[in-house]
Amino acid sequence: MIWHHEDRAAILRAAREEIGNHSGTTPDPGFYHRKLAEVWARAARTTAYAGLGEYSPAAFDAQPVTPREALKADPLDFATVGPGGGLRYYETTGSTGVPTPTPRLAEDIIWNTVSVAHAWESVIGRGDRVISLLPSDVVPVGDLVSQVCDYLGIAHVRAYPFATGICDWDRLIQLWRAFRPTAVFLAPGVALQWTRLVKQRGILAELSTDVRAMMLLGEVNTAPFRGRLGRWWGASAFDASYGSTETGTLASTCAAGGQHLLPAATYFELATPTGLVPIDQATEGQLVVTPLNAYARPLLRLNTGDTVSIGADCPCGRATPLVTVHGRVSDGLSVRGVPLAPRGVEEVVYGSTDATGYLIEIDAAGGFARLLLERDVDAARAAEPAQAEALQQASVDQLDVRWDQVAFVNTLPGNTKSGASQKSWKRSNIRILENA
């Protein structure tokens, strides 16, 4: 609990009122004028944004985009406190480069917790038993799930099976039987590894009895993958949230399975070929964000590097924009001149086969590409040739790529499954071949 101090209780009350008043809606221009002025004033105290001058809508519109590379190069220049000056100290995973120091004040933590809790409470609530198979060291995601559960009054336990320590896979099985979780938070790779293990031991039916919600986060996941996971566990699988250590949570799921931006917590824009535009004036581009409740590291117009599509009219009834995250531009891969993104590859793999994982083997020039698929533990090998051909056809239709070879294997390296704490797409799902 972080809100028991009187001053923090006041922050909590303010966050609850503001987020609650704008739940499921996009705030009006007056709201953004007030909130942007506040984050502008905080940013002006940092080295990176020194000399900002007085805030005005025109001054904000003239403010250049902050490249993600600039933040990664000099992260503490964007901070209002040093590494030891916040309530908590985090770092990014470092899966795509050098870890970024990220101190957070109580204000950062409370505002983000309340924002996410109001979004998730349409899916989880009192009476649930939550198990979090997410890392709890260094990165904030484990703390976030626990804080939301504290806020909503939900029983919960942490059990990340890839950390060396108390909870290995055997201990996780014992814990699962005792706690009988109804909702599970985990990364897609961990979901695959955990499901394979309990299938091999013949206990999936037993352990899935009480599970009704699988909450995925930490990596790109696709509708075919969520459908597969849901069928395995007899549950609904959700794309729980999207964000980063640097920005906080930017989007979260709803009861209908859509992922909605959180416009009461962040001001969103899109970088398009024709320039930077508000979120309601384009349907695709790179997401540019100004977190409205960032205190330890206020950011103005940060380009996330993520290409997204924007939609509307979710069956859940929320008026906030829907977002589909296609992946970071730097994660892209080129095969014979054709760009590939994580979402596209995974939609083909999990939509066309029963594979429980994949690895792309490619030569340095991108002229040769082989796809290795991990066969399910109870898969019928006789069906594999037909699945391989279906995947090839889907790859041609959806990706404009035909693989030089598609082969099924019994297991893939563990780093394709560790999820969220150790995993980047290029480092764990791509293998560069010296001789193809």
Question: What are the chain's domains?
Answer: 1-257 (3.40.50.12780), 332-433 (3.30.300.30)
Average pLDDT over residues 73-86: 95
% of the chain exceeding 70 in pLDDT: 94
Return the H-helix or E-strand segment holding 190. Answer: helix 188-200
Indicate the DSSP class of residue 417.
T
Phi, psi for residue 397 in degrees, rounded to 5:
-70, -40
Helix (H, G, I), strand (E, B) or coil at 299: coil
Average pLDDT of the residues of the chain = 92
Q: Considering the entire predicted model, what is its pTM?
A: 0.92
Cβ neighbours of 359 (radius 10 Å)? 17
Alpha-carbon span 235 to 245, nearest angstrom: 29
pLDDT (0 to 100) of residue 97: 63
Residue 408 has pLDDT above 70, yes or no: yes
Beta strands in 81-148 (DSSP E): 88-91, 101-104, 129-133
Alpha-carbon span 32 to 51, nearest angstrom: 22
The better pLDDT of the pair 332, 136 is held by 136
Residues facing 407 on adjacent strands: 372
User: For residue 227, what are its two tokens?
Assistant: 């459908």
Average pLDDT over residues 154-181: 93
pLDDT (0 to 100) of residue 165: 80
Residue 1 has pLDDT above 70, yes or no: no
pLDDT digits (tens, 9 = 90+) for 208-260: 999 999 999 977 889 999 999 999 999 999 999 999 999 999 999 999 999 99
pLDDT (0 to 100) of residue 312: 93
Q: Angle 148-150-152 (CA atoms, 0-180°, nearest 5)?
A: 70
The better pLDDT of the pair 414, 429 is held by 429
Confidence of residue 423 (pLDDT cuts 50, 70, 90): low
Residue 2 has pLDDT above 50, yes or no: yes
pLDDT digits (tens, 9 = 90+) for 317-367: 999 999 999 877 666 788 999 988 888 999 999 999 999 999 999 998 999
Residue 202 region, left (φ>0) first, then alpha (ψ -120 to 50), else beta? left
Alpha-carbon span 80 to 183, nearest angstrom: 37
pLDDT (0 to 100) of residue 4: 76
Confidence of residue 107 (pLDDT cuts 50, 70, 90): very high
Token pair 């193809």: residue: 436
pLDDT (0 to 100) of residue 23: 87
pLDDT digits (tens, 9 = 90+) for 379-406: 889 999 999 999 999 999 999 999 999 9
Rg of the chain's alpha carbons, rounded to an integer? 22
Residues facing 184 on adjacent strands: 131, 214
Residue 94 has pLDDT above 70, yes or no: no
Mean pLDDT check: name the lowest of 87-96, 160-169, 340-349: 87-96
Give the C-alpha distances (Å, rounded to integers) separating 193 from 181, 215, 357.
Answer: 18, 15, 9
pLDDT (0 to 100) of residue 420: 46
Q: Is 221 exposed, middle or buried (0-12, 13-18, 19+ CB in 10 A)?
A: buried
Residue 95 has pLDDT above 70, yes or no: no
CA nearest neighbour of 78 among 105, 54, 107, 44: 44
Alpha-carbon span 27 to 19, nearest angstrom: 10
The amino acid sitting at 74 is D
Residue 421 has pLDDT above 50, yes or no: no
Cβ neighbours of 417 (radius 10 Å)? 24
Query: Would you state the torsion angle of the CA atoms of residues 207, 145, 290, 264, taken in this order, to the nearest 10 degrees?
Result: 90
The amino acid sitting at 92 is T
Token pair 């949230």: residue: 241
Helix (H, G, I), strand (E, B) or coil at 41: helix
User: For residue 79, what are its two tokens?
Assistant: 């901070």
Query: Do 296 and 104 touch, CB atoms closer than 8 A?
Result: yes
pLDDT digits (tens, 9 = 90+) for 245-303: 999 999 999 999 999 999 999 999 999 999 999 999 999 999 999 999 999 999 999 99
Helix (H, G, I), strand (E, B) or coil at 275: strand
